[in-house]
Amino acid sequence: MFLVLYFLTPMPKGSASLRNGVILLASLLFYAWAEPIFVLILIGQCVTSWCFGLLIGKYRGKPICKVILAASISLDLGVLLLFKYADFFVLNFNAALGTNITLLRLILPVGISFYTFQMLSYTIDLYRGKIQVNRNLLNFATFVSMFPQLVAGPIVRYAEVENDLERRKHRVEDIAAGLRRFVVGLGKKVLIANTMGELIQHYTSSEENAVLFSWMYVTAFALQIYFDFSGYSDMAIGLGRVLGFKFPENFNYPYIAKSLTEFWRRWHMTLALWFRDFLFIPLGGSRVKPLRYVFNVVLIWFLIGFWHGAAWNFVIWGLYFAAVLLLEKYVLGKYLDKLPAFVGRGWVLFSVLITAVFFNAYSFTEIGETLSRLFGLGESSFAGAESLYYFRSFFVPLLLGIIGSTPLPKMLADKAIKKFRVLEPIGMTVILLISTAFLVDGSFNPFIYFRF
């Protein structure tokens, strides 16, 4: 229905404003589906950021411009801190000082971390002179609230869609490629990520302390979060392409990386680049003395972890990555460069699998218990009846997930389609039908990154 209305909307003299209006209306309705009141917050932030942008454009190069930028950043971050982190700070303040301050218990607006970063990128890049002022509020609101990538990314910077917001072309080949990308993303989420989620549920509801079961769990979680998040990114990029936008890529087979540095060039690339360009480089990046570099890395990864959630397990997750990245740079890197590639890949996979323990935990006790099971400490056994049963039941899905996280399936599919073009529409139809059947038959299972 949306696409029909969108393509029936005219583009007088090539202007995309009318079609942007259709996207904006659909985006606001889409967002209101979760919680109508939050639409007002989204609209309010769009208007204020746009107004700050006009002021930055007017006073750029003058001392007052820094004040305007600081006010804009403070407002955007203030809203994020209020909704996402207020109760976290109150809880820890109460625990530290023995006070009893009442929690706000605010509901977290869906996707607030993502659209906040998009607005920040606009005002900061505008201050730096990298983009032009957007004087069309409708177009700017479309950029901020565009529903394909609003709730879970990729994080789109204004510079990447600046021209497309004004004028864009809709070609049949782009629409077809976008629809294919959308179907592939849907299949990744529904057929693989959801299946891994079932295995995780079996593990979390089990009382068996088995090494095998624990490694199955962290492997399943690594696959689930990859196919869940990259699947959503594929769907967003695909639908964006149908609408005439070219959103940035967000994943590039991260599990084949030979170092953790390379892993983070391949995983959630828009987030990593955002922190690099707007925080790490302004802090001096890697062109500083070793102690300052260590400080920069620890600070950035503390913030990346905290960005993911208002809980200590996410902070630990971020600091863990800071530690292993520094270990790789100063100690292991020179050895990994000389060793066969499989050694580096093994180091990456081991390090990343361990992060599942932190990322998906709800308490320090849970972190300790899972780590103990992974390494056979305490009362852990290697395998029990339950773990062996689920190993047999999920062996094929796990194997398919592992293979699917490499470029091999795409390479084979591209070769087959090159010889037999009919395989592509057949394959897309099959994926769509099976995914739809799974969705109809299954329970509600939202994307993991919706909560961030």
Active site residues: 308
The whole-angstrom separation of Cα 392 and Cα 171 is 47
What's 210's DSSP letter?
A: B
Question: Which string of b and e fits 242-281 if b means at least 16 CB within 10 Å?
Answer: bbbbbbbebbeebbbbbbbebbbebbbbbbbbbbeebebe
Residue in the block written with tokens 């782009």: 174
Burial class (CB in 10 A: 0-12, 13-18, 19+), 346: middle
Contact present, 434 and 191 (Cβ < 8 Å): yes
* Distance from C-alpha of 271 to C-alpha of 321, rounded to nearest angstrom: 15
204 burial level (CB within 10 Å; 0-12, 13-18, 19+): exposed
Instruction: Name the DSSP letter for residue 397.
Output: H
Q: Tell me which amino acid residue 30 is.
A: F
